[in-house]
Structure 1
Amino acid sequence: MSAPLRIALFSGNYNYVRDGANQALNRLVGYLLGQGHAVRIYSPTTDTPAFPPTGDLVGLPSFAIPKRPEYRFPTGLTRAVRRDLADFNPDIVHISSPDIAARQAIAWARRTDRAAIASIHTRFETYLSYYHLQMFEPALRALMRRLYRQCDALLVPAESTAAVLRAQRMNRTIFLWTRGVDREQFNPERRDLSWRRDLGIADDEVVIGFLGRLVLEKGLDVFADACDLLTARGIAHRVLVIGDGPARAWFAERLPQAIFVGQQVGTDLARALASADIFLNPSVTEAFGNVTLEAMASGLPVVAAAATGANSIIRDGVSGTLVEPGEIDQYADALEAYVRDPALRRSHGDHGLAHAKTQDWTQINAAVEAAYYRVIERRARIARALAR
C-alpha cells in the first residue's frame, strides 16, 4: 500500500458560494481524508459560507470582485500563510483556479521541489466575451499557459477539455478527473406532480428547466432567445428556473412567464429538477457540465451547446441533442422535437439515466489520487537521475 500523502489544495472558492466546482473539490477532499491522506485547504472565506467546508480550511486575504461581489479574489499568500504551508510540508500542491494565490503556490512548489498539479473547472477565458472584453482573451490565455506549464500535470473533467488544452499548449501531461453524480439525491423518482401543480403547472404541460447560477456567462441570453422563438412558433411550453444570482432580474424580465423557484438544495433541488421534462443548458463556459449530468440522472433529455461542458457527456441523438453554440434556430428545433414527441423524451431520458448510473464518485476520485502518486514519483525519479 502506498504511503499516505500530504496535499495542499488552493481554491478561489471552496465553500463561500455553492457551485459545481467547489462541491466536486469538497467531495474529493472527503474521499482523500477517508483514504488516510492529510489535506489542508487554502481559500478566501466569508462570515456566511454557503456550506461547511470538508477538511481544514485556512483563509486567504481577498477582495470582492467588482460587479460580482458574491465572489472573492485572493490577493496572494501572506507570511502567515506561507509559514502554515511550510509547516504543513505537503508532498503535492494542487491549485484549482488560476489566480494570484495559485501562482504564488506554484512558485513555492517549484522553489521547494514539490510536485504540483492543477485542476481545470471553468473555461475562464470564455467569460470575457460576456463582458465585451474579447480583446483580452489572448493575453489571459498566455497567462494561464505560463501558469499551467509550471505544473507537473493538469486534471481535466472531460477528454474534450483535454483536447482544447492540448491545442492551446497548456501542458503535455493531462489526466482525466471526470465527475460523478449522487444517484441517491438525483433520480427520476424525485419527480413530483403535486409540487408542479402548486406552481400552477398542469400535468400535461411540458416544462423546460434551467439550473445554475443566474449569471450572463451561463448563456441566459441564448436560453431566453430559444424559448422566445419556441413561443413565436406556437409551441406551448413552460419554463422553470432553478437557481439565483445577480442576473435574476434581467432573466425574469426576458422571460416574464417563467417560474423562478430560487436556489434549491438537497432533496428540494432534486425534486425541482426531476419535475421538469426537458433540460436546456446553453452554457459554453464550463469544463464539465455538472448540472447536465444531474439532469440526466433525473431522467431528463438534455439540449446543450456542443462545447467542452457537454461533448463528453451527451451522445447526440441518443441521450440528448447537441447544438452549435449560439444557434438559436437549432436550439428551438431541438426543444420543439422534444415538446412534440413524448416517446423521444422518454427514450433520450432513459439513455441519459443509464449513462449517469455509470458515474461512480469513488472510482472518479481514486483517479485523482493515482494522478498525485504518479506526478510525485515522476518528480522524484527525475531528481534521482539528476543527482547521479
Structure 2
Amino acid sequence: MQDWKFHFSILALCFIQGISCQSIVLTPTKAYADINETFTLTCTYIGYNNVAGTKWNVNNQYTPTTIRHQDNTCSGNGILADDNIYRVGCPTDTSFTVTILRVQQEDVNIQWQCFDIHRKSNTVEILVKIAVAKVALSGPSLSFMKEHSRQTIKCKTSPGRPQPRVSWYLYETNESVKHKITVNSSQILNNSEDGLVAVESTLQIYPNRSINNWMLSCEAWIDDETRAVHSNRLTLNIAYPPEKPVIMGFTDGEKYSLIESEIGKLSCSSHGGNPLANLTWNCNSKPTSITIEDKTVSSTVTWSGVRGQSSCLCISHHSWSGTMQTTTVMIDVLYPPNKPAMTISNKTVSNVINVILSKNLQVKCESKSNPRFKLLHMDRPS
C-alpha cells in the first residue's frame, strides 16, 4: 500500500507541473512466497495508456518472454506460455500479472523485471518465507516483582523471513480474558547472512496488585497472526504490603483494663499482602499462636497483668515492600491499695511520735492503687 501511495504521488506531481511522467513498477517490491503455494507479480505502467504488452526479464536472461493484450485476449509467450507452471493476466490496459501456480525451490532467489523499449521496472527477487520456529520469554530473576517498580522482560524469536512481528499479551487469572499490550515495548533486529531476521522485543512494565497472578506472554509471526507462535507464560507474582493490622475489639490507641495477675488476651490480624505479613507482639507476652485463613494472618497473645505495663503493640512486617505497620492498645492494670504508710520528712513512722509542744509537724500518709482512691484523715479527740 505504501508503494502505491508513493507512485500515485509522483504521478499527481507530474500532472500538476504539466510534464509527462512515466514509470514501470513491479510489485510486491518485497516478494516472500511459501513453497507449494501460488504467488503473483504485478507489472504496472504508470502514466501510460492502453499498453499492448510487456516484456519480462527472468533472472537476467533476456529471453523472448512477453505478455500480450490484444483483442481482449491476454496471452504469454516464452516460459510464460507454460500454463502448467504460470498463469498470466491483464487486469487493466496498463497492468499485467504473472502467477506462479506452485512455488518450488527452484523459483527461490529468481529475479524478475518487466520493461518496454524505453524503461525498466525495479527488480524483484522471490524469497521463501521462513516461519518463526520458537519464541523464548525471559523475565526477572527474582520470584517476586515489587509493586510499582520497573520490570524488564524480553521476548526473543528464532530467525524468520520476512521480519517477524511481536505482540505482548496479559492473561487474567482464569486465562479466559486476554489483553494486548500496546505501549512500553522496543525491538532489536538481528540480521543473519542468509537474510533471516531474529527479533528481540523488550517490555518495560510497572506492575501493581491488580494484575497479581495474571500471566504475561509474547507471540510472534511473519505474515498471519492466526499462525503466531506463543512463548511460555510468565506468572506475575507482585509483592505488595498488607492492610494495617487490627487488634480485635479495640481501635488504635484505645485502653484495655485488666486486674493485676489476671490473664490478659489480645488477638491481632493483618489482611492481604503478597506475601502475607509476619506478625509480632511487643507485650511482655508469652509465646503466641499464629493462624492463616483466607489471606488473613492472625496472632493471639496472652500474659499476666503486672502493674507498670503501659502498652501492647501488634507489629506487621513485610520485607518485600520494606514496610512495617503498628497498632497499639494502652494497658491499664488495676490493683487494690496497699496498707497506708505515714512518713515524716520521708521517714516511715509508726506507733508513738514524739513532738515538741507548740511546734508544727507535717505527717504524710500514702497508699498506692489503680484506680486511685481517697484517703480519709481522722484526728484523735484531745
User: If the length of structure 1 is used for normalisation, what is the TM-score?
Assistant: 0.21
Give the structure with the larger helix fraction: 1
Q: RCO (CA 8 Å, sep 6+): is it higher in 1 or 2?
A: 1
TM-score by length of 2: 0.21
Larger Rg: 2
The structure with the greater share of residues assigned to strand is: 2
